[in-house]
Chain A
Amino acid sequence: MSDDTAESESPTRYVESPIIMATVRVVAPFVFTFGLFVMFHGADSSGGGFQGGVIVGTVVLMLGMAFGIQTTREWVGPKLPVVLVGAGVLAFLLIGIGPVLLGGAFLEYHAYGVHHASKYGIELVELAIGLIVSGIVTGLFFVIAAGMRNSGGETA
């Protein structure tokens, strides 16, 4: 435990660990798939957009832990989390407004006239929520981690 705190006093140093890197490399695709499964399967089993979104966001956290947060942030880019969140809210709104344009009530999925419209509508909404949540988790992670270097002057 004292080793951890000794390290955290000089937080800018990133130590590569082959064990963690190899583990993350193997586990990450499965976690990502599981997150998508929870997101899409929320309609028929436990789970849903919120939980799935958090699990998908966790993949980025794992990558950050294994390959260095700075490297991962440069790879993901500063805009992607914000774009994800905005796109999720926009998608939710559009799914809701669609039936209004077709002469129904807000979020009245049946107005789409597709077979199983309600089921697909709910799944799309879950997906939109998943986008929002995964974007928020990723963005928070990068921003809080960036606070570890309080020297300033770096660009995102």
Chain B
Amino acid sequence: MSSALEIGLLAFVVVSALATALLRDVLGSIIAFSAYSLGISIIWVFLRAPDVGLTEAAVGAGVMTVLFLLTIAKTVRPAGEKTIERVNVRALGVTIAFVAVLSTTLFALPPVGAGDSAVVTDDVTRYYLENAYTETEVHNAVTAVLAAYRGFDTLGEAVVVYSAGIGILLVLHKEVFE
């Protein structure tokens, strides 16, 4: 991450995240949040993870924004002319301490694109990269892992989405229509 474009993107993401947290108007907050998602998804593409970027753009910037907008449609705008929410100092202190604790793990991460990181040198990764094309006949190694090597995991995820989704649909449907 060194070029001007990447630094600009990072700054954009940080600013939109701050705007999401600080804006008093919920509508503005949601718009800032969708801008944040869009920036993050472009960063994923820069990090050579287009699958994750596509997901973030579709879910984070697209569907979540619409669902949030529908949710706040029931609320009213808070009174007053202030644009920025007042910051709770104690909550801010706790948050900064929490982030500082989490940040200590940053130093354990290998630099982006490092050839000797555990992910690259791991035997499982090697096996996937060497055999995915011939064994599964697909050209996207991510899909090969998701749907072939770890197909059973993916089935589990699909069933989780199924049960969570049907549960929410049932409960909300009852609440709304009965």
- The complex places the Cα of A146 from the Cα of B59 at a distance, in Å, of 21
Q: Is B73 an interface residue (CB 8 A)?
A: yes
A5 to chain B, nearest CB (A): 4
Q: Is B95 an interface residue (CB 8 A)?
A: no
Dominant secondary structure at the A interface? helix
Given the interface contacts A51-B55, A145-B70, A152-B177, does A42 sit within 8 Å of B77 by beta carbon? no
Q: Is A38 an interface residue (CB 8 A)?
A: yes
Given the interface contacts A122-B136, A143-B173, A147-B172, does A85 sit within 8 Å of B147 by beta carbon? no
Number of interface residues of A (CB under 8 A): 63
Closest to A54 in B: B58
Q: Does the CB pair B51–A11 fall under 8 Å?
A: no
Q: Does the CB pair A4–B27 fall under 8 Å?
A: yes
Q: Is B14 an interface residue (CB 8 A)?
A: no
Q: Is A47 an interface residue (CB 8 A)?
A: yes
Q: Does the CB pair A122–B66 fall under 8 Å?
A: no
Contact of A129 among B138, B144, B154, B168 (CB under 8 A): B154
- The complex places the Cα of A84 from the Cα of B166 at a distance, in Å, of 11
Q: How many A-B residue pairs have CB under 8 A?
A: 162
Residues of B with C-beta under 8 A to A8: 72-76
Number of interface residues of B (CB under 8 A): 51
Q: Does the CB pair A144–B144 fall under 8 Å?
A: no
Residues of B with C-beta under 8 A to A4: 27
Q: Is B137 an interface residue (CB 8 A)?
A: yes
Residues of A with C-beta under 8 A to B139: 43-45
Q: Does the CB pair A89–B147 fall under 8 Å?
A: no
Q: Does the CB pair A51–B58 fall under 8 Å?
A: yes
Residues on B facing A (Cβ under 8 Å): 25, 27-28, 50-51, 53-55, 58-59, 62-63, 66-67, 70-77, 135-140, 142-144, 146-148, 151-152, 154-155, 158-159, 161-162, 165-166, 168-169, 172-173, 175-177
12 cross-chain CB contacts under 8 A: A46-B140, A48-B143, A54-B59, A61-B66, A88-B158, A96-B151, A107-B151, A122-B136, A140-B67, A141-B66, A156-B173, A156-B177
